[in-house]
Amino acid sequence: MSCTIPLEKDLEIQLYDFDLFSPDDKIGTTVIDLENRLLSGFGARCGLSKSYCQSGPFRWRDQMPPSLLLEHHAKQKGLPPPLFSPEDDSVFYNGKKFRLQSFELKPPTARFLGSKKERLALYLLHTQGLVPEHVETRTLYSDSQPGIDQDYIWSLDPTVMKFPARLIIQIWDNSIISADDFLGVLELDLSDMPLPARHAKLCSIRMMDADPKWPHFLQYKHCSLFKMKTISGWWPCQVLDGGKWRLSGKVKMTLEILTEKEALIKAAGRGQSEPNQYPTLHPPLRTHTLLMCFRSPIARFIRVFCKRYRFKIIAISITLLTGLLLFNFIYSAPNYLAMSLVKPELRLNAPIQIYANVINSLNTSNANSSNFTTPHQNLKSATGHKLKLLQGHINHL
């Protein structure tokens, strides 16, 4: 394959699948800029192999030998060309002398090796920071799905790819006739996730605030599932509305992290045994409960109403009782003040007691009197007079 740079500088690689009956489908494509590789100062057009072999499976792949590449690299850096000794076991480069024995401590035993000069030049090229021979990994893209990796990554070396431990949960409704509508999303970083709320009322969108404006001691606490191993509670679901996230629902979950061996024993969806086991409780014998709600509607209404509004009912009852006591005090205060100002002795003594005192005083005075001609008549007249006075006082009160 030949090309003219810069007219033909892009190398496009297309990957197809192999179908026996239907036409082969294109999986994806990738583009390599050959001009950028050629003009790179790190020798990216062809990586340096570890050894210089003239034949065999590890044959030298570059068009130029290592000695010529070293001379070309010195020219790019503005250095004098390397000077090799007549025995080709040493070279003077960049003001220093390098010997082949310093790189090869023992005589090489590999087959198909090149001359000492080329091997020494290759050792020096590896010290110049040039690109070594490697297997390149590139991402494939498809025109049918622009911007999305097709995940067909080919490599002969074992690779380990690390991704952030994120749990993304999307909630959709289940519409039978129309298309399913998106309700909300919950994204959790398992290494730094907000603590779940114990009750649904305490769950708010403030838990998912990535950049809170509150002080540090008022910020919502976070935790790591890898340290806690298991966690349960409520998390908020949110949806993007007008450029801002708003609360769209709440999710109650139990998250548990397991090792690979534990995950095989407790598979997802089968981690718990059947309920009502060890011991097994048989269903109780009950009467027909179809008309139970009509038999006791008041009790059912009170149970539901009090369970939901019990705190408001208690607060209203305390307020009404306090207001009633205050109203009774304000209403009765003028009467007590009037009684304390007008004839306080009559307020303290009952009328029967006053009448008894009057009778006793009359009896005492009549006994001591010297003019006791008609006792009955005098007692009657005196008693009648006192009773009139007492009745006048009572009427006045």
Q: Which pLDDT score is estimated for 268?
A: 64
Rounded-to-integer distance, Cα 234 and Cα 166, Å: 17
> Does 239 fall in a domain?
yes
Rounded-to-integer distance, Cα 242 and Cα 344, Å: 78
Whether 230 and 170 share a structural domain = yes
Q: Amino acid identity, residue 195? A: L
Q: Do residues 67 and 118 lie in contact, with contact meaning Cβ atoms separated by under 8 Å?
A: yes
Rounded-to-integer distance, Cα 232 and Cα 235, Å: 9
Q: What is the pLDDT along the chain (397 residues), one digit of tens a residue?
A: 788 888 888 888 888 888 888 888 888 888 888 888 888 878 888 888 888 888 888 888 888 899 998 898 888 888 999 999 888 888 998 888 988 888 888 888 878 888 888 888 888 888 888 888 888 888 888 877 776 676 675 555 667 777 788 889 988 888 888 888 888 899 998 888 889 999 888 888 888 876 666 666 667 788 889 888 889 999 999 988 888 888 888 999 888 888 888 878 776 655 556 666 656 778 777 666 555 556 566 777 777 777 778 888 889 999 999 999 999 888 888 887 777 776 555 544 544 444 445 445 545 444 444 444 444 444 445 545 544 554 554 444 4
Query: Is the alpha carbon torsion for 73, 75, 79, 82 positive or negative?
Result: positive
> Does 195 fall in a domain?
yes
CA angle 93, 99, 104 (to 5 degrees): 130
> Does 89 fall in a domain?
no
What domain count does the chain have? 3
Whole-Å CA distances, 144 to 29, 61, 141? 11, 37, 9
DSSP state of 141: B
Whether 187 and 256 share a structural domain = yes
Rounded-to-integer distance, Cα 103 and Cα 124, Å: 9
Residues in the chain: 397
Measured between its terminal Cα atoms, the distance across the chain in Å is 131
Whether 336 and 356 share a structural domain = no
Query: How many other C-beta atoms can be found within 10 angstroms of the C-beta atom of residue 334?
Result: 9
Whether 228 and 193 share a structural domain = yes
Whether 178 and 236 share a structural domain = yes
Q: How many angstroms from the chain centroid is the CA of residue 248?
A: 15
Q: What is the pTM of this model?
A: 0.38
> Does 366 fall in a domain?
yes
> Does 91 fall in a domain?
no
Last residue of a domain, one of 265, 283, 309: 265
Note down the domain range covering 366: 348-396
Whether 260 and 176 share a structural domain = yes
Whether 321 and 368 share a structural domain = no
Tell the residue number behind the tokens 């509150």, with chain if given. Answer: 214
Helix, strand, coil share (%) of the chain residues, nearest 5: 35, 20, 45
Q: Which pLDDT score is estimated for 182?
A: 87
Q: How many angstroms from the chain centroid is the CA of residue 168?
A: 11
> Does 80 fall in a domain?
no
Whether 233 and 182 share a structural domain = yes
Whether 305 and 378 share a structural domain = no
Beta bridge partners of residue 182, listed in sequence order: 172
Last residue of a domain, one of 265, 281, 316: 265
> Does 317 fall in a domain?
yes
User: Under 8 Å CB-to-CB from 191, ≥6 apart: which residues?
Assistant: 164, 165, 224, 225, 226
Rounded-to-integer distance, Cα 48 and Cα 132, Å: 4
Whether 379 and 333 share a structural domain = no
> Does 125 fall in a domain?
no
- HSE-CB of 392 using CA atoms within 13 angstroms: 6
Whether 357 and 303 share a structural domain = no
Whether 180 and 260 share a structural domain = yes
Q: Which pLDDT score is estimated for 217?
A: 62
Rounded-to-integer distance, Cα 234 and Cα 189, Å: 15
